[in-house]
Structure 1
Amino acid sequence: MSETFLITAEQKGQRLDKVLGALQEEWSRGQIQTFIDEGHLLVNGEKVKKTYKLKENDEIVVNPPEPEPLEILAEDLNLEIVYEDADVLVVNKPKGMVVHPAPGHTTGTLVNGLMHQVTDLSGINGVMRPGIVHRIDKDTSGLLMVAKNDLAHESLVQQLVDKSVTRRYIALVHGHIPHDKGTIDAPIGRDKKDRQKMGVVDEGKHAVTHFQVIGRFGVDYTLVQCRLETGRTHQIRVHMNYIGYPLVGDPKYGPKKTMDIGGQALHAGVLGFVHPRTNEYLEFEAPMPQEFDALLNELKSSYDKK
């Protein structure tokens, strides 16, 4: 479906790809440049260069190409299913695993593994994301709820909208947080300087994270439990960085000098929701992955000696 944008006086003189990326957050700068190269994007009915500087009243028309149909294969990934019944299941996703396939990444995902181990998954999200109600980042480990039919899917999504789902994470952050608990209420949207990142921006979506300190390692590191009230992309990573305590190992939001542990030290340890059919509240807990636990033991041993 084509989309049309009309350039205002405030936007004139700026690069086409930069302005369009701000107008349509679903498209990355790279995607927009591909649209330009392949003729899917026209300015006043004509092809332009990626470096084109906009003029007032320019009309941009974008006809994104239809996504190529993908065949999602079932794979034996030996997923740890913590709970399963006829309507829902809870899975403990390992660190390093993407939740669902996308163009260019069609194997080794949680969905590939679910299709091997589970006979029924809801179809509301289409063939790319069967059963997927919510996501956690590739390098975040922990619990996810999955819908096995459309009734369950709609119920779980509504619980997320109503903010009634319990989601508690364990995170190791840089720095010494002096207070024992706090709440971060700051809107999250696409970072204006880097379209590949999220950030706290005035026009972003409402986002609230509650945190409580559960351990300190000198003045260098703090272990916190974070409870999500909302579920924005990279929410904990963005919020903790925003208040000056970025996650250890985070390649996107952490400091340049951080531990090389293959991604952020973040684990979705507790998940609770009301069962879509029985209305019973269910809550599950997954222990920290072995490598996260080993890291904490190493820090504790190191700082106990100081």
Structure 2
Amino acid sequence: MEFNTDRNTEEVENIAAAENDVGQRLDIYLAAKLEVSRSNMQKLLEEGRVFRGAKVFKANYKVKAGDVFTVMLPEPELLEIRSEAIPLDVIFEDEDVVVVNKSRGMVVHPAPGHYTGTLVNALLHHCQNLSGINNVIRPGIVHRLDKDTSGIMIVAKNDAAHISLSEQIQNKTAKRSYIAIVRGNIKEDTGTISAKIARDKNDRKKMTVVQEGGRTAVTDYEVLERFGRFTIVRCRLRTGRTHQIRVHMDYLGYPLVGDPKYSPMKVPFAIHGQALHSQELEFTHPRTGERLRFEAGLPEDMQKIITRLRNGQF
């Protein structure tokens, strides 16, 4: 199975600076407004794609009150999403849904730099049909996991299932819980982190807790085991923001072991990426109305870390 996307015209964006934008570097400001990387925005500026009238702007220009910038976005490349015979750990499947245990290191859907080898590529080979609500780039994808987060995910095989599952996630009747290994000794047995999250203005690939703006994010956590310098916790999502658990635990002062974005310090354990695993998923079946619960066992790398912690080998 193969999908194509093709747009033949360049997009034009007109961005008007507000009072609180004054003084920002233009590349940082526009990258945040258009939700692209700073390096991509710098490339657009170098190509003369950002201007006002006849004036072309450079990356280090400081935004002034009343500025209105025109940005010519290049025509997207023709994209082919191909099916690939990639092994999948399927936990459950019927005519409406597929529940899979995603491995650490697998990207969920195609994106720049990752057009092959993704979960979507594997699903297109495995399934005859996937919902089309999220267009050809993300067919069937109801919710995401970060590349280096392992664990359980649900995929919709038709639009009716997709709508039902999305609504359940939105109204919080679908339940998700994760196991994480974090740095530090969490003293409280349980707790709730309620802190708004927004994209980091200085690094568009990171999220951060903010006092103003941002999106509401709530994470409940429960300590499972303590080892002095490290703690094993179960986290339950009330909301589903990008990097939510990683950002919230770092904000609390207990970053995830191995997290390359929020805790780049070396660890005495062999793990490529953050020690975070989507362990449980509970939802109402979109056709039958039956309440279903599935669990994905911890991956081998996290099992080995926990064994070493219990044996005092750290």
The alignment's TM-score, normalised by the length of structure 2, stands at 0.91
How many Å apart are 1:298 and its aligned residue? Answer: 1.3
1:31 aligned counterpart, secondary structure: helix
How many Å apart are 1:45 and its aligned residue? Answer: 4.3
1:150-165 paired onto structure 2 within 5 Å: 150-165=159-174
1:28-39 paired onto structure 2 within 5 Å: 28-39=37-48
How many Å apart are 1:8 and its aligned residue? Answer: 4.1
1:184-241 CA-partner distances (Å, limit 9, x unpaired): 0000111233222101012110000000001111x20000000001000000000000
Match of 2:24 in 1: 14
How many Å apart are 1:118 and its aligned residue? Answer: 1.1
1:220-263 CA-partner distances (Å, limit 9, x unpaired): 00000000010000000000000000000111111524345211
Q: Which ranges in structure 1 are unaligned for 5 or more consecutive residues?
A: none
Instruction: Quote the RMSD (CA, aligned, Å).
Output: 1.7
- 1:191 and 1:201 in contact (8 A); partners too: no
Confirm or deny that 1:211 pairs with 2:218. Answer: no
How many Å apart are 1:15 and its aligned residue? Answer: 1.4
Rounded Cα–Cα distance in structure 2 between residues aligned with 1:152 and 1:8: 42
Match of 1:89 in 2: 98
How many Å apart are 1:6 and its aligned residue? Answer: 2.2
Q: Which of the numbers 129, 147, 156 marks the counterpart of 1:147?
A: 156
Identify which range, 40-49 or 159-168, moves more after superposition.
40-49
Match of 2:251 in 1: 242
1:72 aligned counterpart, secondary structure: strand
Match of 1:302 in 2: 312
1:214 aligned counterpart, secondary structure: strand
Rounded Cα–Cα distance in structure 2 between residues aligned with 1:89 and 1:10: 46
- 2:258 and 2:265 in contact (8 A); partners too: no
Match of 2:287 in 1: 277
How many Å apart are 1:54 and its aligned residue? Answer: 2.7
Rounded Cα–Cα distance in structure 2 between residues aligned with 1:3 and 1:42: 11
1:2 aligned counterpart, secondary structure: strand
* One-letter amino acid matched to 1:150: D
Rounded Cα–Cα distance in structure 1 between residues aligned with 2:101 and 2:254: 26
Identity %: 54
1:248-302 CA-partner distances (Å, limit 9, x unpaired): 0111111524345211000000011111111111110010011211111111112
1:259-274 paired onto structure 2 within 5 Å: 259=268, 261-274=271-284
How many Å apart are 1:164 and its aligned residue? Answer: 1.4
1:97-152 CA-partner distances (Å, limit 9, x unpaired): 00001133111111111111111111111111111111001111001100001111
Q: Report the CA distance shift for 1:80/1:8 in structure 2 as closer, same or farther (over 3 A).
A: closer
Confirm or deny that 1:131 pairs with 2:140. Answer: yes
How many Å apart are 1:47 and its aligned residue? Answer: 2.0
2:181 aligned counterpart, secondary structure: strand
Match of 1:62 in 2: 71
Identify which range, 46-55 or 294-303, moves more after superposition.
46-55
Rounded Cα–Cα distance in structure 2 between residues aligned with 1:159 and 1:9: 39
Match of 1:232 in 2: 241
Match of 1:290 in 2: 300
Rounded Cα–Cα distance in structure 2 between residues aligned with 1:275 and 1:45: 57
Rounded Cα–Cα distance in structure 2 between residues aligned with 1:130 and 1:31: 26
Rounded Cα–Cα distance in structure 2 between residues aligned with 1:40 and 1:122: 36
Match of 2:175 in 1: 166
How many Å apart are 1:16 and its aligned residue? Answer: 0.7
* One-letter amino acid matched to 1:120: N
- 1:246 and 1:255 in contact (8 A); partners too: no
Q: Which of the numbers 57, 63, 80 marks the counterpart of 1:71?
A: 80
* One-letter amino acid matched to 2:184: G
Q: Which ranges in structure 2 are unaligned for 5 or more consecutive residues?
A: 1-10
Identify which range, 13-22 or 82-91, moves more after superposition.
13-22
Rounded Cα–Cα distance in structure 2 between residues aligned with 1:224 and 1:239: 13
